[in-house]
Amino acid sequence: MLPTPTKFTLVAGKAEGPTRLNAFDNALLNAGVGNLNLVRVSSILPPAATYVERVDIPYGSLVPMAYGSIVSSETGKRICAGIGVGISPKGYGIIMEYSGEGTARSAEEAVKQMVEEAFRVRGLHLKEIKVKAEEHVVQETGAVFAGAALWY
């Protein structure tokens, strides 16, 4: 078993690239996590994890992350991704991610609603929601990314 993360950071980025993978990679760089090895996880914020504004860990680190992303080659299409974290008074929380067509605002609203629903079905009181989102109008091949990095 891996150690339980003690910190979390919300990140979001957008970019263009010559290929779909390059666009995604460039969006990761724009979000500040492009030089890390992301390990995709499901959506539970560890108990007592504290919010930190920026990820500050060595390049190449394995970083658990819940995230949403989308890549498109449809010129003129507006794409978005959002991440939301709900925190309970019990110290742990729920992470929800979204990606699709739309604005950063629509992504924020979507993740807020998903966080509220996740708390409702668990019978938890929602103390606080943190949200971050990004949008991008595709020029050739564009990507957006939003994630919750869980680290130590």
Active site residues: 37, 42-43, 97
57, exposed or middle or buried, with CB in 10 Å at 0-12, 13-18, 19+? middle
**Contact yes or no for 10/130 (Cβ under 8 A):** yes
